[in-house]
Amino acid sequence: MLDGQATVSPALVKAMADTIHHRGPDDEGYYVSGSIGLGFRRLSIIDLKSGHQPLSNEDDSIWIVFNGEIYNYRELRTLLLDKGHVFKTQTDTEVIVHLYEEFGPGCLEKLRGMFGFAIWDEKAKALFLARDRVGIKPLYYCLTNESLVFASEIKAILADPSVNREIAPDIIDRFLTFLYLPGEETLLKGIRKLLPGHYLLVKDGRSVTRQYWDLRFAELSQSASHQDAESELLSLLAETVEQHMIADVPVGVLLSGGVDSTGVLSLAVNATDKKVSTFTVGFSGGAVADERPYAKLAADRFGTQHYDMTISARDFAAFLPKYVWHMEEPVCEPPAIALYYVSKLAKNHVTVLLSGEGGDEAFAGYSNYRNLVWLERMKRGGPLLNGALAKGFSLADSLFDSHRFAKYVPLMSDRFPDYYYSRTSNPHRFTGNRLGEVYSADFARAIDREHSLASVRQLQQHVRGQNTLDAMLYIDTKTWLPDDLLIKADKMTMANSIELRVPLLDHRVLEFAASLPPSLKLNGVSTKYILKKALSKDIPAEIRDRKKTGFPVPYESWLRNDLKDMVWGVLTDDKTIGRGYFRKDAIEGLLLASSNGSDYSKEIFSLLSLELWQRAFLEREAVVLQ
């Protein structure tokens, strides 16, 4: 969209859409009129014969391009028909058009699903961009004095030659602090993410961004019993999974061997009379726990058509350039590569996949939630007890030759939530920034550290006074979830033209979880208490009772051994060091320490991702995608 004095080039809109062909190989469409241009690539899921986009209302005064799925579109369609709206397709896309006609920006409050969309209102001369509440679907934009360029992926925006490719040093530091990019800024100056639960309205030469949804935590009355909460949750999950099964193409389920994905599968098979396909992945080398036997156990229990595969260090290395190309934002997320390969396998059989992503963030499934809640309780004992506990942590480390306890010592004197995301208090977010030690003197001076931390500092301030558990869940839902896990989930599956759906992140499920007292999420030492209770009845005991392993990938071993020469070659290369960010001796010291057994796998993978990202997006090195 340009200012009213210029026109959009149809060739440019097509070039932008062509860069994301993988997101929609089934169809393409364009609407260009004066200063507005909309382009679309379609992955056909619902109403395969119609649903061509861009799509308009009856008089062509409102046009939409839409990425995602609206799960309650049928009931919304009935509502709109009763109000006199006329439909020409059976798609969920057209529901949004008429809903916007009826309610304007208020239409967002009625949508249940995942989405990133743009609506051009010809009569009002207004452009309306919106992103779903949690950030399941991405939406990027670049706003200048002359234009607004937007897309589902950054590479489409970069297809516009007027968009500069200039890196932001503070955001490099942000990435190397959090190992992903929380907040709305990307590594490229001027290109931003529309935050989850927000919309952007451009009208009369002005733009305004508004938040339309936020997650609010409030305890239920004490009269609510565990049994009532469990029953209500199970009913809500069954409804949600049934809605997520709606499609005119085959649907499958990703299995990780854990409670969440197995629980989703149990609900999915009850929601359809069709045979469900399931998929999982394992790794060669035996360095990590193998999830495949547990996934196969679940598949046998529910009678699915099951497929699995194995990836090796060679597969991992071969995909790295494509990993940064598809992810677009440097993210330390090695499991994303496994997700790519299993999605590629699934594409031979289905177009839609369901996963159990999000259960840990909604219902407190990570061990750090339990550990920090107990730590904060112990700190109430006063300075003397805190000092004794700190000494006890240090002693435990020395006795057991472990570093598991030492990370809690500095937290004894730190105030919550100020330390959350500021030290190594969370196993999923390395935020002590040991990588700051490899910065060159010039780069260190160029960084505005407060700017690097600003997005998280704002969230810490927002949750001040909240109970410890819900404060952590809120921060993670606003950062780690959309900016790491969901970027991975979307980008790696869409790279294979697969749509991934995450029913545990339905906003009504999230709101229900937020309404529960903390004791129903973290019960003593039991994490994810109420979700496990609700899902576990039909789950094999071997899965229900096993220790949580996450989605283990043996990348630490691979980086240290199989991929050692490649890692050293990239990170000590003259091109890498010549950028001026890092000291070569410090990088070599980090790699040597890793070779000698120290675990710097996250730091090394992050540095590798950053360098490969720069070569792909700043220097435009060709990436072979087939």
| pLDDT per residue as tens digits for the range 502-517 | 999 999 999 999 999 9
d(C-alpha 522, C-alpha 312), whole Å: 37
Q: By mean pLDDT, which of 247-261, 394-408, 573-587 is the weakest? A: 394-408
Q: Is the pLDDT of residue 447 over 80?
A: yes
Q: 417-427: per-residue pLDDT in tens?
A: 888 876 443 33
pLDDT confidence of 4, banded at 50, 70, 90?
A: low
pLDDT at 496 over 60: yes
Give a three-class secondary structure readout of 591-604: HHHHHCCCCCHHHH
Q: What share of the chain is helix, strand, coil (3-state, %, to 5)?
A: 45, 15, 35
Instruction: Answer yes or no: pTM beyond 0.85.
Output: yes
Among 83-87, 291-295, 315-319, 421-425, the least confident range: 421-425
| φ, ψ at 564 (rounded to 5°) | -60, -45
Average per-residue pLDDT for the chain: 90
Residue type, 381: G
Q: Which of 7-16, 423-432, 501-510 has the lowest mean pLDDT?
A: 423-432
- Sheet with 499-501, strands from edge to edge, namely 305-311, 277-283, 251-254, 352-354, 499-501
User: According to the model, what pLDDT value does residue 420 have?
Assistant: 87
User: Is the previous residue joined to 54 through a cis bond, with omega within 30 degrees of 0?
Assistant: yes
Assigned CATH topology for domain 226-318+333-364+498-544 = Rossmann fold (3.40.50)
Residue 453 and residue 423: Cα distance in Å, rounded? 12
For residues 429-449, give the mean pLDDT.
76
Average pLDDT estimate for 148-164? 96
| Full DSSP string of 388-430 | HHHHHHHHHHHHHT-STTGGGTGGGSSPTTTTTTTSS-BTTB-
State the DSSP string of 217-263. --PPPTT--HHHHHHHHHHHHHHHHHHHT--SS-EEEE--SSHHHHH
In the chain, CATH 3.60.20.10 sits at 10-211
- The strand pairing partners of 353, in sequence order, are 252, 500
Structure tokens at 558: 């691979």
- Assign 21 to helix, strand or coil: helix
In the chain, which residues fall in CATH 3.40.50.620?
A: 226-318+333-364+498-544
113 pLDDT more than 70: yes
- Residue 134: predicted pLDDT: 98
For residues 542 and 423, the model is more confident at 542
- Statement: 10-211 belongs to CATH 3.20.20.70: no
pLDDT for 427 equals 38
Q: Can you tell me which residue has the tokens 């499934």?
A: 365
CA separation for the pair 370, 427 (Å, rounded): 12
Question: Is-contact 283 553, C-beta < 8 A?
Answer: yes
